[in-house]
Amino acid sequence: MAKGITSREQDFSQWYNDLIIKGGLADYSAVRGCMVIKPYGYALWENMRDVLDKMFKDTGHVNAYFPLFVPKSLFEAEEKNAEGFAKECAVVTHYRLKTDPNNKSKLIVDPEAKLEEELVVRPTSEAIIWNTYKGWIQSYRDLPILINQWANVVRWEMRTRLFLRTAEFLWQEGHTAHATKQEALEETTKMLNVYAEFAEKYMALPVVKGVKSENERFAGAEDTYCIEALMQDGKALQAGTSHFLGQNFAKAFDVKFSDKNNQLDYVWATSWGVSTRLIGALAMAHSDDEGLVLPPAIAPIQVVIVPIFKGEEQLTAISAKVSEIVLQLKAYGIKVKYDDTDNARPGWKFAEYELKGVPVRLAIGARDLENNVVEVARRDTKTKESVSLDGIAEYIQNLLVVIQESIFNKAALYRADHTTEANTWEEFKTILDTKGGFVSAHWDGTSETEESIKTETKATIRCIPFDAKEESGTCIFSGKPSNKRVLFARAY
Amino acid sequence: MAKGITSREQDFSQWYNDLIIKGGLADYSAVRGCMVIKPYGYALWENMRDVLDKMFKDTGHVNAYFPLFVPKSLFEAEEKNAEGFAKECAVVTHYRLKTDPNNKSKLIVDPEAKLEEELVVRPTSEAIIWNTYKGWIQSYRDLPILINQWANVVRWEMRTRLFLRTAEFLWQEGHTAHATKQEALEETTKMLNVYAEFAEKYMALPVVKGVKSENERFAGAEDTYCIEALMQDGKALQAGTSHFLGQNFAKAFDVKFSDKNNQLDYVWATSWGVSTRLIGALAMAHSDDEGLVLPPAIAPIQVVIVPIFKGEEQLTAISAKVSEIVLQLKAYGIKVKYDDTDNARPGWKFAEYELKGVPVRLAIGARDLENNVVEVARRDTKTKESVSLDGIAEYIQNLLVVIQESIFNKAALYRADHTTEANTWEEFKTILDTKGGFVSAHWDGTSETEESIKTETKATIRCIPFDAKEESGTCIFSGKPSNKRVLFARAY
């Protein structure tokens, strides 16, 4: 047990909280269900955001910003969306506080400053955005609109977990408008593929792409596509969603366009989003009992260098050599930190950077200097080796690629080991209660069966995978006929 | 009057609104006082944010994220800060809506979902942040904390203007914690200098650095330093502030640290911020009656290329050449757009990019192709010249530097012309009512005099400039002795 991290075996949930808190990613706050994202966690988010932002722009999207507040009358316009979010939204009712006449050092809500119409703090922005698009769209020439927004949203969840489920979270939400159904469907798929590529290539997180069942669909969508990842406790986590909204919001907000033949039609829509929840997924998928394990592609610090020295003279000599190494690494675009602080021992530093998941640690002492070598330690495999300083930057660059792949492969292997076919109800329950993970099983396609399975096992349909094969079978629960397997799991 | 822009002479205020709306920077929204930042405006903000973010990081700061909501009990803890913002804050009182029993398609606030403690939507984050810092700071080893946050804030202003004063706006707020008063003072100055450098070097906006009088100080600060800019109508605009908060917040939230001698003391604080208001300042300082004039250093598009062609064949030949030019420009890091759309005439495009303030326009036709030249038009001076395509990228790169300087110099000249010394009350009033601008005058140092001058002339003390010389004189209003001039102006 390093740095007071609970082990996974002992208490997975506490292990996760320890990772987040002690790893310096986030902290609890004075506001129920809201967290503080600490600098190290925010640096991780910045790296993720920058990669995603570039991917969005490379696929033709631009950023914009819409109001935080949604007037109640707009919020309720799309009925299903409103119904889905009304139960958990923060509502602004007043615009002023005043001094409490009974206690001058206290403030109270000023009853004279009641809003004529309440404002909902956005839980998602379809309503405010489609109300705006109404003014922007008249003709097919105004389409498509391909806008993304980086923003905070609020969903008043009753049970919260750092990053995974917080009352306020940061996310991006794409909101696109199209002239045809086909184009909107293509956009929905395109952005799901962007998310999948991001998850696998940068977060080293293998994901299953598929479509949600009706029960799990976004409120107001015709279809919700998703990427689903598997955590180390065998539970699934929805890592991103892309919604085909049909003409639902265009109808709710009366957004029509005239096509090339001057015919009026409602506009087709998509929306898609990922959030700071991904940080929770990242931590939970790869880390170990010593702390975080971060993939090099998004790690805030990729390489940390720790000097091993006795006295000022040794440190000076080591630091001179390290300056050269740092320059070489930076020339390769590697994010490197040299920790020459003298208020902690090397062993303490080693544990600290293990806890923080820094992919590579270099340790260098006086003897290494003489031998022109450095000790290279991998965070993911906990292996160490002595490496020549000649060509060290290129060596590290290659190593970072190897580590990135290795973390992905480990997660992919885990997922393969924890994706099991079940053909009977007993098998299904046994798998869930023993190894967990994804259970691939036949389902009769009804919401009632899905609901019953959830009630009995807490497992939900994570998705109907895009690559599911046609296969005749019978629903594990109802025994009714089915023509493809879907993925069940207990989930975050 | 291009593109329906009102001229400055006709109606300065309407001219500004036309710039913002027709230039595609922002739009009104369905939420009182809130705006939509459109893609072009947001791209400008991204450029400004990226430059500032790098400047913050280069001066040792890191980013983090704190909750949107401030519980009322924390909000009221620092008395002056609370008093300053209580009058204009949005208050969340409920966390759920429910179906209106009298109208199933409507929602109402669920009275059973009333919060035990109201939440204020942050108008600024000192309270929530210092409440958090309390848990992070025990010893001098935990200091300094140098954190910045990019966020949205809400101030329920009664009279709003796009970008200049909106109920919700985007900003950054730095919140630093220090072991000594001296260090906090140095930080306050350092960040004001960062803002001044950013305004002058990137926004081409000359600013006066100084300190606010007590009346204009940030609520809860010991001292507010500011940068003040001058707009084309002779009104001043506060473009950024850096506050020395003393130990006020540390005392309000009981944040103490033990120093090297194990003595307990309260922590010293600063905060500093700039906002999307800067976009309004930028637009208002440089633009003309044809539209926006954007400095190259932050323009979303630096160069636009418009083909002049008849028929597909000419366009193909021109586009082939333009592809080469685009590659050359991009190799110099120049942001270039080729507008080869065929649904608008060149004249329409010219006016459109003038409206949008693109610094350089290249126009190229069949004849130019033959002669290996291109027509280069500067947005700021509206001058045109024919330039050889050999070495065009280097030419444009140099031109962008010249334009950046030229825009700054024009604004600096305007400011010099509109900074006037007044030695009598009559002179003071005459200057304000005729040419406007900054009026440099003696003031007796009292809030009462400042208040009286404001009541009579609407002019306020913008700042006591850091570089104000010691000079004996008498207050223009009270006739009492004064030892330095301060800057008055009517202001946004």
- Rounded to whole angstroms, the Cα distance separating B377 from B359 reads 8
- Residue that the structure tokens 């909902």 belong to: A120
Angle between the N-to-C axes of helices B12-22 and B277-286, in degrees from 0 to 180, rounded to the nearest 10? 120
A217–chain B nearest CA distance, Å: 21
Contact flag B31-A82 (C-beta cutoff 8 Å): no
CB contact under 8 A, A64 and B39: yes
- Percent of chain A whose predicted confidence (pLDDT) is above 70: 99
Q: Quote the CA–CA distance of B133 and B176 in Å, as a whole number.
A: 10
Report how far residue B194's alpha carbon sits from residue A328's, in angstroms, rounded to the nearest whole number: 30
Least CB–CB distance from B152: residue in A68, A71, A109? A68
Interchain contact, A168 vs B67, CB within 8 Å: yes
Second-level CATH architecture of A419-489: 2-Layer Sandwich (3.30)
Q: Rounded to the nearest 5 degrees, what angle is found at the Cα of B8, between the Cα atoms of B6 and B12? A: 90
Tens digit of pLDDT for each residue in A272-314? Answer: 999 999 999 999 999 999 999 999 999 999 999 999 999 999 9
Question: What pLDDT band is residue B248 in, cutting at 50, 70 and 90?
Answer: very high
Q: Name which of B66, B74, B170 is nearest A36 (Cβ-Cβ).
A: B66
Reported residue count of chain B is 492
Cβ–Cβ gap A36/B64 under 8 Å: yes
Please state which of the four CATH numbers 3.30.43.10, 3.40.50.800, 1.20.140.10, 2.10.260.10 is assigned to the domain occupying A303-402: 3.40.50.800
Q: What residue has token string 């939230």?
A: B253
Q: pLDDT tens digits, residue range B112-133? A: 999 999 999 999 999 999 999 9
For chain A, the C-alpha Rg in angstroms (whole number) is 26
Report CB contact under 8 Å: B132, A39. no
**Rounded-to-integer distance, Cα B441 and Cα B151, Å:** 38
Cα–Cα separations (whole angstroms), residue A304 to A43, A307, A387, B363: 16, 10, 15, 51
* Facing residue for B86 by CB, picked from A27, A71, A98: A98
Q: Is the pLDDT reported for residue A139 higher than 80?
A: yes
* CATH, range B2-93+123-286: 3.30.930.10
Q: Do B34 and A168 touch (CB under 8 A)?
A: no
Domain B303-403 maps to which CATH number in 1.10.3720.10, 3.40.50.800, 3.40.50.300, 3.40.50.1820? 3.40.50.800
Closest CA to B213 of B443, B44, B388, B404: B443
Q: How confident is the model at residue A1 (pLDDT cuts 50, 70, 90)?
A: very low
**Among A438, A355, A380, CA closest to A15:** A355
CB contact under 8 A, A27 and B135: yes
Q: For residue range A178-220, what is the model confidence (pLDDT) as tens digits?
A: 999 999 999 999 999 999 999 999 999 999 999 999 999 999 9
| Selection from B127, B276, B280, B428 nearest residue A107 by Cα | B127
Distance from CA of A472 to the nearest CA of B (A): 43
Chain A nearest C-alpha distance from B21 (Å): 12
A67–B36 C-beta distance less than 8 A: yes
Residues of B in contact with A27 (CB under 8 A): 132, 135-136
CA–CA separation, A420 and A199 (whole Å): 22
List, for residues B30-77, the tens digit of each pLDDT value. 999 999 999 999 999 999 999 999 999 999 999 999 999 999 999 999
User: Can you tell me whether residue B284 is helix, strand or coil?
Assistant: helix
Residue A316, Cβ density class (10 Å: 0-12 exposed, 13-18 middle, ≥19 buried) = exposed
CATH topology of domain A2-69+129-286: BirA Bifunctional Protein; domain 2 (3.30.930)
Which residues in chain B are contacts of A121 at CB distance < 8 A?
A: 68, 92, 121
| Residues A360-417 pLDDT 10s | 999 999 999 999 999 999 999 999 999 999 999 999 999 999 999 999 999 999 999 9
**Residues of chain A contacting residue B27, judged by C-beta atoms under 8 Å apart:** 132, 135-136
Enumerate the domain spans of chain B. Answer: 2-93+123-286, 303-403, 419-489
Euclidean distance between the first and the last CA atom of chain B, given in angstroms as a whole number? 25
Q: What is the dihedral of CA A458, A459, A463, A464, to 10 degrees?
A: -130
The answer to whether the CB of A296 falls within 8 A of the CB of A400 is yes
A94 vs B contacts (CB less than 8 Å): 90-91, 93
